């Protein structure tokens, strides 16, 4: 009996899922050990300022990281040319964003962490991680999907190793020490990633300052990335401002745990993204079938994850984290029901990107961010942590509903009679349409 051979998408998905499985384990271990070592107050402080840095980090490189991915998927030479301009753009943007980050952290969200610690976190998320992201997207666009995701895993794995060492030497948690571990992990990962990328991909020999056309091309993706990251990060920064450090510690731990559990959806989308992009110029019927499968699996997985988190996670977390995190089980049980909407939001957002509609995606997610902030400011003073959970649930649900409706209408359209002509028309529309 001969087993059927896996197709390219199935094989790539299996490899990527393996990397994501390892990433899920590393993230869960890092999340739980860091929360236990720092305690609710210090962990909440770290979660708030790190979320702010990661949100601003989406603007690093002026959106050229996405252009590297798309151009590399089309042509290795075209991707290398964009990469040669993306590196200087990332250095420039980091120099501009770091002072803004420090001001927002201290003045706007009220962080009490020292400037040295904030600077290390900012340097990591505004410079080192974006540079690693350029290499990851270069490999991703060339078809090395699993290897590209391995690069994303390395900073977390190295930070986990450093954290274990810190816990062995100093049982009492220190925000400043972990901020140093956080930055060193990203620096070491960037060094290792450069070696891997050089071996697997054509890297530019010379760097060039980006011209105005290149920056304009990347700008819409920068806006899209900021809008995409904001719903998942802004809530932690808001929590630090509205709930204080201890309340943020409970909320951020539950929220990060839910995000980690939805990683398989991201794995599926990462594996399918090059095919979704190329599918615009291939069979329209096959492309729509792939979209239906992606959206259906995302919803089913999200519901399953919610049930698992609601019933199984609370007692386990209370046992692992101890008395310092009293009440974490109840928070996780409530936050679990955001998972189906988050899963669908991840799937629809990536699909809109693949369809060449980044500005539509940004408009949907930007509206959801406004809703999140408005509801948080209205509900948290009255309901506390529960008010923030309601605000995030409404924000995620709005994104899933609006983008899901658009894509559902897209997949229900009958395929055109002449697929080649349709693909040509779509390609022309993609070139002319601003978003």
User: Dihedral, CA atoms, 237, 97, 342, 359, nearest 10 degrees?
Assistant: 130
The pLDDT of residue 118 is 96
pLDDT digits (tens, 9 = 90+) for 52-103: 999 999 898 888 888 888 888 887 888 888 888 899 999 999 999 999 999 9
Report field, pTM of the whole predicted structure over 0.95: no
pLDDT digits (tens, 9 = 90+) for 259-273: 888 888 877 777 776
Q: How far apart are the first and last CA of the chain?
A: 50
Range of the domain at 250: 8-432
Classify burial at 16, counting beta carbons within 10 Å of its beta carbon; exposed 0-12, middle 13-18, buried 19 or more.
buried
Q: Which residue has the tokens 């609710």?
A: 40
The pLDDT of residue 164 is 95
Q: Are 294 and 347 within 8 A, CB to CB?
A: yes
Residue closest to 239 by CA, chosen among 126, 122, 120, 391: 391
Distance in angstroms (rounded) separating the CA atoms of residues 5 and 10 = 9
Give me 154's structure tokens.
């390395």
Please say if the pLDDT value at position 7 is more than 80.
Answer: no
Please say if the pLDDT value at position 253 is more than 50.
Answer: yes
Residue 1 in domain:
no
More confident residue, 306 or 225: 306
Give me 340's structure tokens.
């189906």
The pLDDT of residue 386 is 94
Distance in angstroms (rounded) separating the CA atoms of residues 14 and 98 = 38
Distance in angstroms (rounded) separating the CA atoms of residues 181 and 116 = 13
Structural domain count of the chain: 1
Classify burial at 405, counting beta carbons within 10 Å of its beta carbon; exposed 0-12, middle 13-18, buried 19 or more.
exposed
Residue 3 in domain:
no
Residue 107 in domain:
yes
Please report which residue ranges of 206-338 form alpha helices under DSSP H: 212-242, 244-261, 263-279, 284-311, 313-321, 328-335
Residue 322 in domain:
yes
Q: Which residue has the tokens 């802004």?
A: 234
Residue 61 in domain:
yes
Q: Are 327 and 249 within 8 A, CB to CB?
A: no
Residue 364's Cβ-side half-sphere holds a number of Cα atoms within 13 Å equal to 26
The pLDDT of residue 430 is 33
- Residue 41: pLDDT band with limits 50, 70, 90: very high
pLDDT digits (tens, 9 = 90+) for 144-169: 877 888 888 899 999 999 999 999 98
Residue 396 in domain:
yes
The pLDDT of residue 215 is 80
Long-range Cβ contacts of 404-408 (<8 Å, 24+ apart): 404/295, 404/344, 404/348, 406/348, 406/352, 406/360, 407/291, 407/295, 407/348, 407/351, 407/352, 408/295
- Residue 13: pLDDT band with limits 50, 70, 90: low
Residue 2 in domain:
no
Please say if the pLDDT value at position 425 is more than 80.
Answer: no
Question: Would you put residue 261 in left (φ > 0), alpha (ψ -120 to 50) or beta?
Answer: alpha
The pLDDT of residue 269 is 78
Q: Which residue has the tokens 């992009």?
A: 277
Residue closest to 138 by CA, chosen among 274, 34, 4, 260: 274
- Residue 283: pLDDT band with limits 50, 70, 90: low
Residue 73 in domain:
yes
The pLDDT of residue 125 is 95
What is the rounded average pLDDT of the residues 396-418? 74
């Amino acid at each position: 009996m001969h087993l059927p051979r896996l197709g390219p998408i199935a094989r790539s998905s299996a490899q990527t899922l393996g990397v994501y499985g390892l990433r899920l384990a590393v993230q869960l271990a890092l999340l739980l050990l860091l929360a236990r070592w720092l305690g609710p107050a210090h962990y909440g402080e770290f979660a708030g300022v790190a979320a702010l840095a990661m949100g601003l980090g989406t603007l690093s490189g002026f959106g050229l990281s996405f252009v590297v991915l798309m151009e590399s998927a089309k042509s290795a030479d075209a991707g290398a040319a964009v990469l040669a301009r993306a590196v200087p753009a990332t250095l420039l943007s980091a120099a501009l964003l770091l002072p803004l980050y420090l001001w927002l952290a201290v003045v706007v969200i009220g962080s009490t962490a020292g400037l040295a610690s904030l600077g290390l976190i900012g340097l990591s998320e505004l410079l080192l991680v974006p540079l690693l992201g350029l290499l990851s997207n270069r490999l991703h666009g060339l078809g090395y999907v699993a290897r590209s995701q391995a690069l994303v895993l390395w900073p977390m794995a190295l930070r986990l190793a450093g954290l274990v060492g810190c816990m062995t030497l100093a049982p009492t948690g220190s925000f400043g020490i972990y901020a140093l571990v956080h930055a060193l992990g990203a620096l070491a990962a960037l060094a290792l990633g450069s070696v891997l990328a050089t071996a697997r991909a054509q890297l530019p020999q010379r760097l060039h300052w980006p011209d105005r056309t290149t920056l304009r091309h990347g700008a819409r993706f920068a806006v899209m990335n900021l809008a995409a990251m904001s719903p998942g990060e802004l809530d932690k920064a808001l929590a630090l401002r509205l709930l204080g450090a201890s309340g943020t510690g409970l909320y951020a731990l539950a929220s990060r745990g839910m995000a980690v559990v939805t990683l398989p959806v991201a794995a599926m989308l990462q594996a399918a993204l090059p095919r979704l992009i190329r599918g615009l110029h291939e069979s329209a019927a096959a492309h729509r079938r792939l979209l239906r499968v992606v959206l259906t699996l995302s919803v089913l997985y999200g519901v399953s994850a919610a049930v698992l988190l609601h019933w199984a996670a609370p007692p386990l977390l209370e046992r692992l984290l101890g008395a310092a995190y009293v009440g974490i089980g109840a928070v996780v049980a409530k936050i679990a029901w955001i998972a189906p909407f988050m899963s669908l939001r991840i799937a629809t957002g990536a699909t809109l990107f693949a369809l060449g509609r980044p500005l539509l995606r940004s408009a949907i997610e930007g509206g959801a961010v406004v809703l999140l902030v408005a509801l948080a400011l209205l509900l948290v003073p009255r309901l506390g942590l529960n008010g923030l959970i309601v605000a995030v649930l409404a924000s995620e649900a709005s994104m899933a509903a609006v983008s899901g409706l658009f894509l559902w209408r897209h997949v229900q359209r009958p395929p055109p009679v002449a697929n080649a002509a349709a693909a040509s028309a779509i390609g022309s529309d993609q070139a002319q349409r601003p978003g």
